[in-house]
Amino acid sequence: MIIHTPVTDAVLTRQTIREYKPAQISPDELETLVQAALRAPSGRNSQPIHARFCQDAEALRAMQIDFKNIVGWDTPVHTKSDVNPFYHNAPTFAFLFAQGDSRMEAGLMAENLCIAAKGLGLGTVIVASVGALFADAACGPQWKRALRIPEDYQFLIGVGLGYPDEAPEMKPRNAEQIQVIEG
């Protein structure tokens, strides 16, 4: 039997949302998400991740143009990246960077954000694709500067956050990949 609590329900019902209402999240929701990001665990509490919550719609639009010029306009359909910008029109987008390759910590912070957002009734989309923008020799430094991120830091993952404007089916999972070894 599955035990339902607000936390387990948030984990069990989180799903990627790729359509958002235009309304911005509230200041209290933003503050709660910032605290959820801060509480993410890291090896030896090294706290390598530098997060930037971008609510500047004009900057996001400009990033999308540079991004498409780098990766090409003929993009895959399975993530709606043929019709949506990389941030899927989420009004808030968290960019996670680190000086080294702290992918574990970035993933944990991203999941903290997704679960906290779910608890707040918000939708989320985890986005790796926009890494191409920051890795680009011409555009990367400029956008890192705009986000107040040192040039030698690398983008690790992003999370779009906002009020959902779709209710997709839950994606299937391969249950046989998880087994319990009984003594």
Report the distance separating Cα 102 and Cα 141, nearest Å: 20
Report the distance separating Cα 41 and Cα 121, nearest Å: 23
Q: By CB under 6 A, how many residues form the interface with ligand FMN?
A: 11
87 touches 127 (CB < 8 A): yes
Report the distance separating Cα 109 and Cα 105, nearest Å: 6
Does residue 15 bind ligand FMN (CB under 6 A)? yes
CB of 40 to ligand FMN, least distance (A): 15
Task: Candidates 129, 136, 146, 165: give the one binding ligand FMN (CB under 6 A).
Answer: 129
Does residue 57 bind ligand FMN (CB under 6 A)? no
Does residue 108 bind ligand FMN (CB under 6 A)? no
SS3 content of the chain, % helix, strand, coil (to 5): 40, 15, 45
State which amino acid sits at residue 166. E
Does residue 24 bind ligand FMN (CB under 6 A)? no
Task: Candidates 59, 128, 141, 142: give the one binding ligand FMN (CB under 6 A).
Answer: 128
96 touches 109 (CB < 8 A): yes
- Residue (48 or 164) nearer to ligand FMN, CB: 164
The stretch near ligand FMN (CB under 6 A) out of 29-37, 58-66, 122-130, 175-183 is: 122-130
Write out the residues near ligand FMN by the rule CB under 6 A.
Answer: 15-16, 18, 79, 125-129, 157, 171
